[in-house]
A and B are shown apart, each in its own frame.
Chain A
Amino acid sequence: MLALATALAGLGGCGDETVPAADLGARLFANSKLSPSPINAFSCATCHPVVVTELADADAGAPPDAGPTDRHPGPIHPGYNLFDSVHRPSWWGGTETRLLDAMNYCLVEFMGGAALDATAPSARELYEYLKTVSPDDPSPALSLTVVKNIDGLLALKAGADPARGGDVFGRGCRGCHGQPHTGEGKLGSKTSIVPEDTITGPVCNPNHDPGALTNPAALACARTVVVEKVRHGKFFNIGGTMPLYSIETLSDVEIADVLAFLGL
């Protein structure tokens, strides 16, 4: 009887009361089911924080996530802070000039979904939510600097700090990849365990060498692959669904520190 009452109370909480579109959008923002893909584990919130920022200096025109030198101590996301995002003149570093296209780019490229039409309820609800966290009109476009050539980063081995790298890994990588070496807590079954999956995988260990984890060639290969994945994500003909980390979100030094932390 108690169980029945509890169940009915739970159902009552999801009843047919009217919910503001912005609230529905907030829920969608954090829901991987925005994409119909049964494989997808990403929601918008996986990659994008919504952090209210206040510029203390009147002349401080830099974007909130301007770079690691002045970074807040919280999670490091590959995507930009979406506070004040609605009234930006462009997104994705200027390549998208419609907010819906920018949203659909994430939905299709990373979440395995289909592009939303402007009339789709979920598109409207997401817009209403983002509008509630976008008080400033206009707000500036944010730069997105994609690092094409990774040679400089690969050379940053001397002086890399594994302790700092552990901190960066915890704030920037663990949310999706889980604990290093075990993958405990990782997001979805397809997410790789770093660095082991990379070292022993088909690219760096094509001959299935059981000693790959101590093989210098496999380790060097994994170092390159990890840097490629971080800097290029799924792009540059790399594949997968990982988003890239631009120079604005992670510095070369921070990535070198992560590599040292991972033993690469």
Chain B
Amino acid sequence: MARAYLVLLAVNLAACGDDSSAGPPPPDEYIVNCDSAADAGTFTSDENYSAFVNAEAAHRVLADPCKSPQLATPTPGSTLDRSTPPMIAFANKGPTCQLRLAQPVLMAACRLHQAPLWRKLVRAFLLEGVAEAHCGAFSGENYLLRLLHAGEAKPVYMAMLSVTSFTPDPMIWQKAMRSRNGQTLTMTIERALFFRGDIMDGPYIQPQPYSFQVAP
């Protein structure tokens, strides 16, 4: 069977080619990163961070006071020490949302990429991987925490989390806070439920960020 390939249609790549800009800044910390996670089922990764970034770019982050993380410590409005990182702890969502898991999860699964549920389930369950190149596709909850200063695009501090309680690395914290004397910083925490690497519910964020004062 002979076949001739005649013409390669020229597409104007030069006009609107790939922008090789650096992209969003990476998190300062991954806790617990996939390559050091003791529990293979609970980790975070750069892949999951990308999923948050993509969701933000697509305006899929939902401000929801109930489904978003609820900060416990440090107390909102308190002062942050520049040299000693605080223990940051939060509930993954509001107490009134804890009992309403099943239905939203099911509905989110149905909405996943607007694809029929049966197709997603076939792809997810019948096709099993053997080796993983990036710690595998994650199922579970991850959180993206940012400390921000008004007017600055780059976060003062950012962490991708698979845990709801942690203390930032002192070296990273001190570096982040070096020139922040007396500044007011805001904290946002996004929560997303992943299923095999895709966000199936969320991300959710508090309508109003938490405010802190950095000690002078």
Q: Which A residues lie at the B interface, using CB under 8 A?
A: 26-33, 35-41, 43, 45, 49-57, 59-60, 62, 64, 70, 72, 74, 83, 95, 101, 104-105, 108-109, 112-115, 133, 148, 150, 187-190, 192, 198, 201-203, 206, 221, 224-225, 227-229, 232, 234-240
Contact = CB atoms under 8 A, between A and B. Distances in A.
B131 A225 contact: yes
A56 B13 contact: no
Given A37-B57, A37-B58, A54-B4, A133 B9 contact: yes
Interface size of B as a range: 35 or more
B136 A239 contact: yes
B47 A239 contact: yes
19 contacts: A31-B17, A39-B24, A51-B7, A52-B7, A53-B4, A55-B3, A57-B2, A60-B3, A62-B1, A74-B5, A112-B50, A148-B127, A188-B18, A188-B20, A198-B133, A203-B133, A234-B197, A236-B129, A237-B132
A106 to B, nearest CB: 11
Nearest to B9: A50
Contacts of A115: 113-114
A51 B54 contact: no
B22 interface: yes
A206 B34 CA distance: 10
A113 B54 contact: yes
Contact of B130 (A56, A113, A198, A224): A224
Contacts of B133: 192, 198, 201, 203, 225, 228-229, 238-240
Closest 6 CB pairs of A and B: A202-B35, A112-B54, A237-B129, A236-B129, A114-B58, A31-B16
Contact of B127 (A70, A150, A235): A235
B154 interface: no
B23 interface: yes
A237 B47 contact: no
Given A27-B16, A38-B53, A60 B58 contact: no
